[in-house]
Amino acid sequence: MNGRLAGASTPSTLTLASVAFGLAVTLSVSVLPFVRFAYRSLSAHLVIATAAGVTALMVTYLAGWRLVRRKRWDDLLLVVGLGALAGSNLALTLFPEVAGVGLRFITWASLLGGLVGCAILAVAAFAPSRAVGFPARAGIVAFAAIVAVLVVVGIVVAVLSPGLPVVIDPSVSPEGPATPRVLGPPEVLAVQLAAAGLLGGAAAGFTRRAEHDREPLLVSLGPALALGAFARINYFLFPSLYGHWLYSGDVLRLASFAVLLIGGASQIAADQRALARVAALDERRRVARDLHDGLAHELAFISSRARALSAANGDPATAQLATAAERALDESRDAIAALSSGPERSLDDVLARAAEDVAQRAGARVSLRLSRDLHAAPATRDALRRIVREAVTNAVRHGAARNIEIRADQGNGALHVRVTDDGVGFDPAAASTGFGLTTMRERARAVGGYLFISSQAGHGTSVEVRLP
C-alpha cells in the first residue's frame, strides 16, 4: 500500500465507501424481507469478539507509539479510547470463564465500556493537538487511564448489576414476522444509538485529520469507525451481539475491525520503511565522515604539496600530479556532499551547493537563477550535480573565470540547466576531448539529455544541458 491505506485513495473516499457499505447492509435487512443474514453460531460470536479485542489491542499499541513519538493530547485520548474498546471486546471473551462473574455483569460492562471508549474517541477526533506536559510518562499515563476507565466501569456495573435488565433472550432469532425486530430494554437501545452517534462523529473527525496526516493508522480510523457506527445501528435493530445468532451488526463489526487490522499492518510496514531509511541515512553519514576525515584530508595534503613543488621547480609532471589530486579531492568532496544529504533536498539546492563549493575555493562569484519547482529523478539529479560541478571547475581552473552564472528552469516537462562564465574561453572543436567534456556529455546522455558547449577565445563559455 506504499505506506497509505488503499494506495492513492483519499481518506474521504475510503470513509464514504465504508458509509455506502454500511448503509447498504442496514437497508437490506430493514427494507428487503427476502434478505437473510441470520446464522446461529455461539462460537462465531466468540471468534469475532476475540478478533476484535486482539485487533484493538494491536492498534492501541501502535497508537501508543504514535503518542510517544508526537507527545500530543489528542494521541493520548486516542490510545485511551482504543484501549477501552479493546477491553470491552475482550470482556465478552475472557470474563465468562471467570468464576462468579454473571452474564448480566459481563454484558453491561462490555456495553458501557464500549460507550465510554466511543465517547473518548469522539473527543480525541476533535481535540486540539497540544503537547503533553509529561512526555516521558505519556505511555504510562495512557495505560493507567485505560485501566482506570475499565475499573470504574466495572465497579459501577457491579454496584448496579442486580437491578440491570437482561439485554435479550440469547435464543431469540433476529428473523421473525416483523424484520427488523427492535428488541431489548430502552436503556440498551439508547446506549446503542448514542454509541453510533459518537462513532459517526469520530469517523468524520479522524477523516478530516487524515487529509493532512496520511499515516496509515490514522487513515484507517475514519472508515473503521464509520462501519462501527453502522454496526451499532444494526445492534439497535437487533442486539445479536448478546445472543446465539450472527446477524448484520456482527458482519459490520467484523468489517470495522478488519479495516483497523489493515491500517495497523500498513502502519507497521510504513514504520519499518521509515526505520530502514533512517538506518541507511545514518550509514551514509558515517561513510561521509570517514571520507572527510581520511581520504579528503590526505588528498588535500597531496594537492598542496604537489602545487608547492611545482611552483618551486616548475616540473610539468608535478603540476599534472597536483591537478589530478585536486580533481580527486573534488570527487571526494562531491561524494561526501551526496552521502551527507538526504533525497529530500531540492534540485535547485543541490545545483547551488555544487557550484558554490567549487567557486568559493577559487574565489569566484556565483550568480544563481534557479527555479524553485525543479523536479528530477535521483539519477538525473546526480548527473546534473556532477555536470555543474565539472563546468564550474573548468571555468575557474582553466578559464580563470571570476563570475559564473547558473540558470535552471523547467517547463512542459523539459529541464534546462546552463552554466555561463566570463573566463578566457576556448575552441570547443580543438578541445573536444579535454576539460572533462567527454565525461559531461556521457553523463547527460546517460539520463536521456544533451550537452551543448558554446565558447570562443576571450568571450567566456556556456555549458547547457537539456533534458526532454
Using alpha carbons, list the distances in angstroms from residue 233 to 188, 378, 426, 443: 12, 51, 82, 64
| Beta-carbon contacts of residue 228 (< 8 Å; ≥ 6 apart) | 118, 199, 203, 252, 253, 256
Cβ proximity of 82 and 206 under 8 Å: no
Per DSSP (E only), the strands in 198-339 are 245-246
* Among the ranges given (40-54, 84-98, 234-248, 432-446), the one the predictor scored with the smallest mean pLDDT: 84-98
CA dihedral 431→432→437→438, nearest 10 degrees, is -140
Tell me, what's the pLDDT at 135?
56
Q: What confidence category does residue 78 fall into, taking pLDDT thresholds of 50, 70 and 90?
A: very high
Cβ proximity of 437 and 419 under 8 Å: no
Task: Kindly report, residue by residue over 119-143, the tens digit of the pLDDT.
Answer: 999 999 999 888 876 655 766 777 7
Cβ proximity of 288 and 336 under 8 Å: yes
Task: Kindly report, residue by residue over 3-41, the tens digit of the pLDDT.
Answer: 444 444 789 999 999 999 999 988 888 777 666 677 777
Tell me, what's the pLDDT at 93?
59
3-state secondary structure of 323: helix
Rounded CA separation 466/158 (Å): 77
Tell me, what's the pLDDT at 222?
94
Tell me, what's the pLDDT at 344?
56
Tell me, what's the pLDDT at 463?
93
Q: What confidence category does residue 341 fall into, taking pLDDT thresholds of 50, 70 and 90?
A: low
| Beta-carbon contacts of residue 359 (< 8 Å; ≥ 6 apart) | 365, 366, 392, 396, 404
Tell me, what's the pLDDT at 436?
75
Q: Percent of the chain beyond pLDDT 90?
A: 26
- For Cα atoms 427, 468, 373, give the angle at the middle one, nearest 5 degrees: 105
Cβ proximity of 5 and 220 under 8 Å: yes
* 431: DSSP letter: T
| Beta-carbon contacts of residue 467 (< 8 Å; ≥ 6 apart) | 376, 380, 414, 415, 416, 444, 447, 448, 449
Q: What is the DSSP string of 359-396?
A: HHHHT-EEEEEE-S-----HHHHHHHHHHHHHHHHHHH
* Helices marked H in 183-296: 186-210, 216-237, 248-291
Residue in the structure block whose three cell numbers are 427476502: 34
Task: Kindly report, residue by residue over 144-173, the tens digit of the pLDDT.
Answer: 877 888 788 778 877 877 777 777 766 777
Is residue 302 over pLDDT 60? yes
Q: Which residue has the higher pLDDT, 380 or 310?
A: 380
Is residue 95 over pLDDT 70? no
Rounded CA separation 326/81 (Å): 63
Which domains does the chain carry? Answer: 11-273 (1.20.1070), 345-468 (3.30.565.10)
Is residue 72 over pLDDT 60? yes
Rounded CA separation 94/88 (Å): 10
Residue in the structure block whose three cell numbers are 465478552: 92
Cβ proximity of 64 and 139 under 8 Å: yes
Tell me, what's the pLDDT at 113?
84
Cβ proximity of 434 and 401 under 8 Å: no
Q: Percent of the chain beyond pLDDT 70?
A: 88
Work out the burial of residue 267: count CB atoms within 10 Å of its CB; fewer than 13 is exposed, 13-18 middle, 19 or more buried. buried
3-state secondary structure of 180: coil
pTM of the model: 0.66
- Residue type (1 letter), 335: A
Rounded CA separation 161/156 (Å): 8
Q: Which residue has the higher pLDDT, 70 or 404?
A: 404
Tell me, what's the pLDDT at 358?
79
Is residue 231 over pLDDT 80? yes
Rounded CA separation 228/310 (Å): 81
Q: What confidence category does residue 390 fall into, taking pLDDT thresholds of 50, 70 and 90?
A: confident
Task: Kindly report, residue by residue over 195-225, the tens digit of the pLDDT.
Answer: 999 999 999 999 999 998 889 999 999 999 9
Tell me, what's the pLDDT at 96?
47
Tell me, what's the pLDDT at 246?
82
Rounded CA separation 103/422 (Å): 90
Cβ proximity of 417 and 404 under 8 Å: no
Tell me the sheet residues that pair with 416: 409, 466
| Beta-carbon contacts of residue 310 (< 8 Å; ≥ 6 apart) | 318, 319, 321, 322
3-state secondary structure of 366: strand
Cβ proximity of 254 and 22 under 8 Å: no
- Residue type (1 letter), 72: R
On average, the pLDDT of the chain sits at 82
